[in-house]
Amino acid sequence: MAGTATILSDDTVLSRLDRALFRLESFLGLISGLAVFGLMILAVISVGGRNFFNHPVPGYVDWIEQAMPLIAITGIAYVQRLGGHIRMDIVVGSLHGRALWVAEFITTFFILLLMILLVWGSWSHFLRSFDFAAPMWSRDSTIDIALPIWPAKLIVPVAFSVMSVRLVLQLWGYIRAIATNAERPVAVPLIDDAATQAAREAAAVSDDPGQGTSSAGGREA
């Protein structure tokens, strides 16, 4: 399942780096949300222009193509930090202590390997599109209004690089947890029990912001 996990913090270097990176991840998440909002406004303008003036927004599909990486990619590190990606909590949740942190370390390590390959591949894809000598620095463009495609292609390796840094910090946290057998280590998403998750979800839709927070003491997001 996916959800928002508890993230603990302290004064260690790892925790400070975690919080600093989270500010960047939050900014990228904000950009992703603004891109969604911008496409909504663009859709209203395009449909309104088509219906009332018989003149939709030129290159509407091209703008959607450009915004897709912003919507789909820029927020992945933010979600990873909060433990929101799809995962088998029913399996991992049955583990405790070092066994849990070893399992988390292994899965996170393989994700990091995948992300490194994706950074390499997406950066190569960007380089094939970017050219200082070409008009608008681009060897290719969109079909309708000829927008350069390289900015959208650059977003992908940048977002994947931030995700890779996040995964490195989480691996560091898991190594510390394995070495010290910590029950609740810092800078890694901690799996809450079903009651805590239900209380948090209830608090999110209630008028009482304090409801459901007592069992997640020390939570920092």
Whether 2 is in a domain gets the answer no
How many structural domains is the chain composed of?
Answer: 1
pLDDT digits (tens, 9 = 90+) for 145-188: 999 999 999 999 999 999 999 999 999 999 999 999 998 999 99
Domain housing 73: 13-196
28 belongs to a structural domain: yes
Residue 219 falls within a domain, yes or no? Answer: no
Percent of the chain whose predicted confidence (pLDDT) is above 70: 88
pTM to 2 decimal places? 0.85
Q: Is 30 domain-assigned?
A: yes
15 or 90: which leads in pLDDT: 15
In a domain, 216, yes or no: no
Q: Is 19 among the domain residues?
A: yes
Q: Is residue 112 part of a domain?
A: yes
The two structure tokens encoding residue 48: 């309104």
pLDDT at 87: 77
The predicted structure's pLDDT at residue 206: 77
Q: Which of 187, 184, 192 is nearest to 170 (CA)?
A: 187
Round to whole Å and give the CA distance between 45 and 30.
22
* CA 149/CA 138 separation, integer angstroms: 7
In a domain, 202, yes or no: no
Instruction: List, in order, residues 6 or more apart from 81 with CB less than 8 Å away.
Output: 7, 18, 21, 22, 25, 166, 189
